[in-house]
Amino acid sequence: AQSVAQPEDQVNVAEGNPLTVKCTYSVSGNPYLFWYVQYPNRGLQFLLKYITGDNLVKGSYGFEAEFNKSQTSFHLKKPSALVSDSALYFCAVRGDLDYKLSFGAGTTVTVRA
Amino acid sequence: EAGVAQSPRYKIIEKRQSVAFWCNPISGHATLYWYQQILGQGPKLLIQFQNNGVVDDSQLPKDRFSAERLKGVDSTLKIQPAKLEDSAVYLCASSTRDSLSYEQYFGPGTRLTVT
């Protein structure tokens, strides 16, 4: 069975500092990895995905993520966080042997001014 | 383009009552998903449609939940009778096709409270 772990329930950073949200996964076959963001009372918004190729993936709003196959990780990063980045972030994975998209429990990011 | 539409946005019912949620996916999207998101958890897939056919309903509690997608466009998810543990946000999502590499687009969700 495939699964996603987001080890931190909350991440707090100061505006302008680097932001990292951690994600590790377990999947049979090749992984297809996604990051989504959820603002209050709104649905999930797609940020970026890793399918194949370059391990560093760039996405919306200045976010990027690094795929590490040996560590089965897909950490989300932003070099300089903004207050408006405060939201709930979900990592998700699909495997080519199980098409269901499995989500982590989410990490709440708070960026203080 | 217009996003995924869902209604109602909020619903409060008593246990053992029935409730229905409606979803209109992005135009042209063949694949439609219903997820249940319980507070503090990530979304969990309930059912997936490809056009008007069911692809995966392995996690749908079929004794009380049902879903349909007539004509391969709009979809309805129904709960009858509701239980307290059904309190959650029900998210609808769509994608152009059912491919591993295609991202899903989510609606705003329906927040259900069962009292």
Of B44, B103, B109, the CB nearest to A43: B109
Residue of A nearest to B104 (CA): A46
CB atoms within 10 A of CB B43: 29
Nearest CA in chain B to A31: B100
Nearest chain B CA: its distance from A51 CA (Å) = 6
Domain ranges of chain B: 13-102
Q: What is the dihedral of CA A72, A78, B109, A51, to 10 degrees?
A: -40
- CATH superfamily of the A3-112 domain: Immunoglobulins (2.60.40.10)
How far apart are alpha carbons A86 and B46 in whole angstroms?
28
Q: Is the pLDDT of residue B13 over 80?
A: yes
pLDDT in tens, A57-113: 999 999 999 999 999 999 999 999 999 999 999 999 998 777 789 999 999 999 999
Question: How high is the pLDDT of residue B20?
Answer: 98
| Closest approach of B23 to chain A, Cα-based (Å) | 13
Sorted by sequence, the CB contacts under 8 Å of residue A98 that are 6+ apart come out as A1, A2, A27, A28, A29
Contact across the interface for A32 and B100, Cβ inside 8 Å: yes
Say whether A101 and B45 touch across the interface (CB within 8 A).
yes
Predicted pLDDT at A20:
98
**Domain limits of chain A?**
3-112
Residues 6+ apart with CB under 8 A from A102: A2, A3, A4, A92, A93, A94, B42
CB B73 within 8 A of CB B88: no
Least confident of A18-27, A48-57, B81-90: A48-57
Residues 6+ apart with CB under 8 A from B110: B6, B7, B8, B9, B10, B11, B21, B89, B90
Q: What are the chain B neighbours of A49 within 8 Å (beta carbons)?
A: 101, 103
CA distance linking residue A8 with residue B56, whole number of Å: 31
pLDDT value at residue A14? 98
Helix (H, G, I), strand (E, B) or coil at A28: coil
- Model confidence at B99, in pLDDT bands (50, 70, 90)? confident
How many residue pairs bridge chain A and chain B with CB atoms within 8 Å of each other? 53
What would the pLDDT profile of A5-17 be if each residue is shown by its tens digit? Answer: 999 999 999 999 9
Dihedral angle, C-alpha A3, A50, B40, B85, nearest 10 °: -60
User: Residue A95's pLDDT is what?
Assistant: 85
Please work out, in degrees rounded to the nearest 5, the angle formed at the alpha carbon of residue A74 by the alpha carbons of A19 and A3.
120
Instruction: Look at residue B16 in the predicted model and tell me its pLDDT.
Output: 97
CA pair distance B19, B11, nearest whole angstrom: 8
Say if the Cβ atoms of A41 and B108 lie within 8 Å.
yes
Closest Cα in chain B, distance from residue A58 (Å): 15
Say which residue the tokens 């080890």 belong to.
A7
| pLDDT for B1 | 64
d(CA B16, CA A96) in angstroms, rounded, equals 39
Look at residue B86 in the predicted model and tell me its pLDDT.
97
Segment A13-40 shows an average pLDDT of 94
| CA-based nearest distance B109→chain A, Å | 6
* Domain B13-102, architecture per CATH: Sandwich (2.60)
